[in-house]
Structure formats: C-alpha cells, structure tokens
Amino acid sequence: MTASSEAMVPGYCGPHLLTVFSLLILFECIVSLKLLELRVPAHVALGTRAALACRWALGPADVLYSVKWYKDGKEFFRHVPRDHEPRRKFPLPGVDVEQWDPSGSSLVLSPAASGTAGRYRCEVSGERPLFPTVSGHADMDVVVLSTNGPVISGLRSTYRLGEDVKVNCTSGKSRPPNKLTWYINGEPAPTTALLKAKHQVFEDQLETTTLELSFKISEHHLKGNEIKVKCLATLASLYWRSIEESASLEREPVSHDQDQSPWQHINTEDRIKMCDIDNNLCDQNLYEIKELPMKSHCPFNDKKADENELSVGLIKSAKRTGQLSLCNRGLGTVPENVWKIDELVLDETKEVDFSRSDNNQWWNAEPLKTLDLSSNAIKVISANVKFLQHIVNLKLHDNAITSLPPEFGELKSLMSLSISHNKLTALPMEFYKLTDLRWLSISHNTLAKIAPDFGDLVMLNFLDLSHNKLTMLPPGMGYLVRLVELNLSHNELTELPPDIVNLRDLKKFNISNNSLKKLPPLGELRKMEILDANHNDIEELPDFYGCTAMKELYLANNFIKEITEEFCDQMQHLSVLNIRDNKVEVLPENISLLQTLKRLDLTNNNLNKLPRNLGLLSQLQSINMEGNKLSFVRQDVIRGGTERMMKFLRDRITEEVVAETRFTPDEWPDKYTLKKSQALVVAGRELTHVPEHVFSTAAEAEVHIVDFSKNKLTTIPNGIVRVCETLSQLMLSSNNLSSIPSEINCCRHLQYLDLGKNNLDTLPQELGELNNLRELVISNNKFTKIPRCVYDLENLEILLAAENKIDEINVSSDALAKLKKLAVLDLANNNIVTVPPELGNFTHLRTLELMGNCFRQPRHAILAKGTASLLSYLRDRIPTN
C-alpha cells in the first residue's frame, strides 16, 4: 500500500532514484583512482640498475593511502604517507632497492641479479571509505650481455665468380643467446643463404650462437672489386654489436673440377671441437662430416687456417707499434710467425727508396713488446715463445692452456703476464726465473700448489692467485716485499705462512672464501688499507696493533664471537667494518674510538644489547643491526635506517648518563667517568656557570658530547674552547641564553648543536664557519628571520626552527637554496604570511613542517597530506613566463 501511494506522487522516484544515486556515487568512487602507467623494463643487464615507475591519478576528493610494490606476489616496498615511518623496505632475495621517489612512485633496484627477474606489481590504494585499489603488473628478465664478439670465421681473402662462400658468425657468451643477422654488401642476406642457428651451452649456463652464411658468388656481387659480409649480434635493446670483413673478387670463373678440401670452410671453433686429443673426428653433423673419408690425422694439424689469421697488415702494424693483438680470433694454435715476428722480412724491404719520408719502413721497426692472445681456444704454448726476447706485456687469459713450456722462463723482459681463466695445474720451475715480473694474474686455474721458488719473483707489485685449489702457501712468499695488492681468495687455504707479515708495502689483501681458522698478527702490515677475509672459519680477531692505515675490514661469514677493546684501540682510522653473519655477542664500550667509521654492518649476530657509546660515532652513514636479539630496541627503529637508529642511541646516551650521574651541586664528574662515557652531561642542575677545571678534565678525557641543557646559563661558558678539538655534539637547550659568542667557530668538528628554548634573536656570523654541522636546533626562541649565518652551513641536513616569530621563508639563491643537503625543515608555529611556490623545487626535503602559521594557502588539508604532496602543490603554482 505504501509503495503504491508513493508511486502516485507526481515527480517522486522513490527508492529507485536513491539506488541509482548510490550506484553513481559508488561508481565514481571506483573509477576516480586510475593507474595511468606502469614502467618495468622487459630486460635489464646483470649488475646494472633497473628503474621501475608507477603513475596514477587521484580523483578530486581522493587521498592517497598507500603504494605497494610486489615481486612474484611478495611485497618488498611500501609507501604509506600517514604512517610514522612512511616508507619501508622488506628483504627479498635479488631485490635491493637503492633509491626511491618520496611518493613511492618510482624505485631503482641495484645491482640486478639473477634473482631480480620476475613479475613486478604496483598497487595503489585510496583512503576513501571503500579504499579503492588499482594495480598493474609487468615481467622483467635479467640478461647477461656478451663481453666480446661476434666473430667471423671461414672467410678467405679472394673469391672467383661462381665460387661458394661459406662463413660462420659466432656470438659471445650471453644469456639468453644473441640473435645474429647477416648482411652481404650492406643488404640483409636472403633466408635461402642462412642455415639454422646453433646454440652451445656452457657450464656457467651462458650460450653462444653460431649462424652459417652460404651463397655463391654471382654477377650480382661483382659491382666492385670486393665483397663485404657483416654480422650483427643483438640482445633485446641492450646489446648491439657488429663485425664486418671483406674479400677480394676476381671475374675469372672458378674451375669446378679443381680439388678442394671439404674442410676449408669450417670455422675455427668447429675445428677445435672436431679434432680432439686423439686426432679423431667428432660427429658434429657439420658439412656432412660423416661422409668425409677418414684419415689417420686430423686435417687441421697443419694449422693453416690459424696461420692465415696473422695477415700482412697485422705484421706491418706490429712492426710499426710494437704491439700485436690476436684476441678473440677463435685460434686453436698460435701462428708460428708470431714467435718470429721480430725476424720477419716483408717484400717491401727488398726495394728501398730513401727519398720517401714514410716512417713505417723496416729500419724503423719496433720489436714486439705487447702480445695479446686472449679469449681464444689455445691449448699449447710453443717452445718458440723463447724468441720473444723483447716482450714486456703478454696476455694469455681466457684460453685452454694446460701447461707452460720450460722455455717460458727465458722471457727476461717480461713485466706483465695475464694467464687467468686457463687449465693450468702446475707451473714449470723455469717460470720462477721471470724475476722482472711486476704484474701477474694466474686466477681461475686449477693450481694445487706453488713452489717455494715463487719468492724469487721479488719485483711483483700485483699478484692474483684467486680461484685455484691451493691448500697452502710456500714459506718464500714473504720475500715478495714489493707487493701492493695480493688476491688469494677462493682457494682451500687453512693457514697463512708466518712470513706473510713481511709484505710491508701491501695495501690490498684478499683472503676471502678459504678455510682459514686463524689469522697471524698483522701489525707489521703498516700500509694495509683493505683486508677482505669474508667467508672463512675465523674464530677471533687477530692482533692489528700497528695497522694504522687500515680503512676497510671485511670479516663477514665467520665465527667471531667478540670485538675486543684492543681492536677499537688499534683501528682508529677504520671507515668500513663488515662483521655480519658471525657470532658476536657483545660490543665494547670503547667502540666510540672508531670516530672515522662510516659503515658498520652487524647483521645476523648474537647481540642482545648495544653499548650506549655507539651513538658517539658521528661519521656513521650506514649501520645495519637486523637479525640480532636486541629486545630493548623496537623493530621499527632497527629497520628505520641509520638516521633513526643513531637518534635512538644518542637519546639513550643522555638518559643513561643522567640516570647514572647523580652529583650534588658541588660535585663534578671525574676523569674516569668522562673517559668511559666520553660525554660531559650536567643537565638539569640550575647552573649559572661552569668552573674551568671541569673543562680541563673533559679535555683530558677527549669528550665528544657536552650537555648543559635545562640550566640557567646566560652565555656559553668560555671553557668550551678547551674541548673544541673533540667536540661533536653540544646541547644548550632550556637555558637563558640571549647571545652566542663568536668563538663558537672554534668547534670546527661540531655536528649537532641544540640551542632550543632560549632567548635568542640572532646568531653570530662566525657560526656559519661550522662546516661539519649537520643538525641545528633553534626552536622556541625569538627569531624573526632565519639567521644569515645558517645559510652558510652547506652540510646542514636538519634545521628545527619551530616556535619562533619568523615571518618569511627566503628561498633565494643566497639563502635556503644554498642548503643542498637539507632534508628536514621545521618552521611550524611561526608568523609566516606567505609560502613561496619556489619552495616546491626543494625536492631534497624529506620533511617540511609549516603548520600553525598565518598563511591561508596552502590549506590545512594540503599540509596534512605530507611533504611530497605539499612540494608538488607548490611546484604547480610557480608562475611561468
């Protein structure tokens, strides 16, 4: 009855209109948030950076709630603007977020690893009652790019009309394999001239591609005197490399009845595969090998093709420059003429015209000093290597060499030798006669031992023996006193010889990935700057007394239980300490002595407490504590980054020192107390002055922190100059200061200065000379403008100036714009009338507080959205010319 009466009312639509209106609201709510774009690179090279971007549009009434990033369904990054900790990273193998936009819309992953590949999803949510959510996904693959290639093989120097051309192009190793494309005289080769591409997979799962080009020389090719073939290797849009070779053309037709070897067009790599040690043919189905007549010897034992790689042009160039490169040529043997190149006489020497001014004549020839035979498939080095009497630099890396001839020891001029990535199992005794060697790399071989005579190579500056199978080092290693860099990583060493400490010029020492249980005292290595002992079985720190130059120390993945006080005494110039994945249970109180420390990694240890003095490490830029048993530190603080952790530790220092130091008004902390805490904390004692002897004692204790807050000081005590050399933090808040003396500039190491809750209305210009100051607090004072000296603090990161009478924000080039490192700016509760739109260009600001001022724009709703939204709002209002 009610329904029928409603229907009789003119113009009344009843619940139907209400339903439609509700649906429209719901529809508007659903469609107002839109995902405009998701950018995920389809391919990214291993070890490089991957940039991800997600762009969305909010409706007029929408407020962003969160942006979340996922890989293969697992969240690794979250941005929630209203959270106390707006941005969070979650550990995920292969996903290392290096950089991010303040809005969470773009990320940079670096370095890309194999585990970085996968499906990435960006999810954006609004804060409406229905929390509208949009998302998009895209796949990314991590590729390994070729470091060399492509290589053309099988092309002869001359062809005739009607003759067959059969050449191969082989790409460098990559994953996935490269795509190859052939060109003939600049035109794409017809598909009829291409055979099916072949792929070879290696132990490291990388692949090469080989594509054969086969065609007959016709009149079409005889437009010039030569024919050019080019091979192009590509991999997605990341890799694009080509090689072009040419051959001469003769118009005389080829005689079809001439006896041609069916092997002549097979490339070098296939030759090596087909001719094994026993000179038997391998069944590769290449050019109908099965149908070839069997011979008692491999048809390539004459090394004819390899000999042809040493062209007349290369010989001329070598004689002119003293350098010869045959790298990446697919050589199975070294052309014999290489060994005798200094004695070779070309045809041009038979007729000499002394009227020519050409400097490239035989009498100006340079002896061969540099020879590059790397990246081939060479197995044997001939005894004729002894003829290279002038050779200085020899590159034999990336081959298949199994041994060196005794004659190798006759290369008396050799100074640099690279023979890494081969199959050496031993070195001949004659090798140790190369006493002029300065640079030697024998890494990535299978050496099980080296002779004591290794110590005869006394001129060595650089030695790389990594990635072998060494179980011990000979005693003679101590004679290599000129070594500056020594790499013994990835072996099977269980101990180091005692005379290793004789290497007094050593600066870089890598012994990672071995089975070392103990390190000898290393104090004699006074010049050592970097020690890498990761991935061993070390149980305790060695004695570093004397290692005054040590800057970086890597001891991750060992069994170390303790960092000793002696260690902190000895390593006062250390900048990097990585001791993650150990068994460390406690840190010493004097860890604050490591004042130059910038990176400290204590991840995955057994720490259950931290020394309060850890907060005194004023230079620390990165600290990692995850994976410990720190029950007194909240997880959000541990994961909140270095800045948050250090603030927590600094606050704890003040609380604990005040709690422990309960002096009567006439008592002052003694030298022992000051030395232990490295802090002079006399807060909350209603002091009007501080006696000189207090500063003298503090100077002897080399304190880093002085806290006179919550007293009745009217000026900074003069004695502060006594501790200026070590002072890094000075707290003077909640006093009656009306001025700051110009002598404050003597505190040149000061990084934190708190002048809040005083009666200050100006600061001396000399304060601008504190070049190391990173945080300045001037809140709750009487400033009407930000003092000019503040703009000279170019390393300032945090400026807290709330609760003053500041009436303007000066963003000019000689004011705030000079503070390029400023990340936090608090100007809340002042008298600011206008906010300059140019402030939006200060994208380095992570936190900007402007609440409680006099301006009407931006509105409170804009301020509440957070710093990123506020800066974007201001940028949109910058007037354009």
CB 606 within 8 A of CB 629: yes
Provide the token pair at 573. Answer: 């110039």
pLDDT value of position 5: 32
CA separation for the pair 372, 496 (Å, rounded):
34
pLDDT value of position 254: 52
Report residues of the chain scoring pLDDT below 70.
Answer: 1-31, 61, 84, 128-131, 222-223, 251-303, 345-364, 636, 640, 653-667, 671, 881
Q: Is the dihedral of CA 504, 507, 510, 516 positive or negative?
A: positive
Please enumerate in sequence order all residues whose Cβ is within 8 A of that of 648, keeping only pairs 6 or more positions apart, or say none.
Answer: 615, 633, 637
Comparing C-alpha atoms, which of 610, 638, 632 is closest to residue 91?
A: 638
Provide the token pair at 521. Answer: 């005292």
Q: Where are the domains of the chain?
A: 32-143, 304-347+360-444, 663-875
* Strand ranges (E), 185-320: 187-188, 198-201, 207-216, 226-235, 239-250
At residue 262's C-alpha, the angle toward residues 260 and 263, to 5°, is 115
Give residue-wise pLDDT tens across range 389-418.
Answer: 999 999 999 999 999 999 999 999 999 999
The number of beta carbons lying within 10 Å of the beta carbon of residue 201 is: 12
**DSSP secondary structure string for all residues of 644-694:** HHHHHHHHHHHHHHHHH----TT----HHHHHHH-EEE--SS--S---HHH
Long-range pairs of 660-669 with CB within 8 A, sequence gap ≥ 24: 668/693, 668/694, 668/697, 669/697
Segment holding 271, helix H or strand E: helix 268-274
Cα 423 to its chain centre, rounded Å, is 30
CA gyration radius for the chain? 37
SS3 assignment, position 655: helix
CA separation for the pair 257, 239 (Å, rounded):
45
Q: In CATH, what number does 304-347+360-444 get?
A: 3.80.10.10
* Strand ranges (E), 263-384: 323-325, 370-372
CB 685 within 8 A of CB 713: no
CA separation for the pair 755, 775 (Å, rounded):
11
As a 3-state breakdown, the chain gives helix, strand, coil percent values, each rounded to 5, of: 20, 20, 55
CA separation for the pair 637, 859 (Å, rounded):
32
CB 178 within 8 A of CB 239: yes
Distance between terminal CA atoms of the chain? 68
CA separation for the pair 789, 796 (Å, rounded):
12
Comparing C-alpha atoms, which of 577, 556, 557, 582 is closest to residue 567?
A: 577
Assign 3-class secondary structure to 343-356: CCCCHHHCCCCCCC
Type of residue numbered 464: D
The full length of the chain comes to: 881
Q: What are phi and psi of 346, to 5 degrees?
A: -85, 165
Comparing C-alpha atoms, which of 269, 274, 288, 272 is closest to residue 208?
A: 269
SS3 assignment, position 744: helix
The CATH superfamily assigned to 32-143 is Immunoglobulins (2.60.40.10)
Type of residue numbered 560: I
Residue with tokens 């909240």: 634
pLDDT value of position 192: 85
CB contact burial 685-717 (16+ within 10 A = b; e otherwise): eebeebeeebbebbbebebbbbbbbbbebeebb
Residue with tokens 């071995």: 514
pLDDT value of position 361: 55
Q: Choose which CATH entry (3.40.50.300, 2.102.10.10, 3.80.10.10, 3.30.379.10) describes domain 663-875.
A: 3.80.10.10
Same fold? 304-347+360-444, 663-875: yes
Assign 3-class secondary structure to 143-200: EECCCCCCEEECCCCEEECCCEEEEEEECCCEECCCEEEEEECCEECCHHHECCCEEE
pLDDT value of position 290: 30
Give residue-wise pLDDT tens across range 139-171.
Answer: 999 999 998 889 999 888 888 888 889 999 999
Q: What whole-number percentage of the chain has pLDDT above 90?
A: 35
How buried is 277 (Cβ within 10 angstroms: 0-12 exposed, 13-18 middle, 19+ buried)? Answer: exposed
pLDDT value of position 653: 66
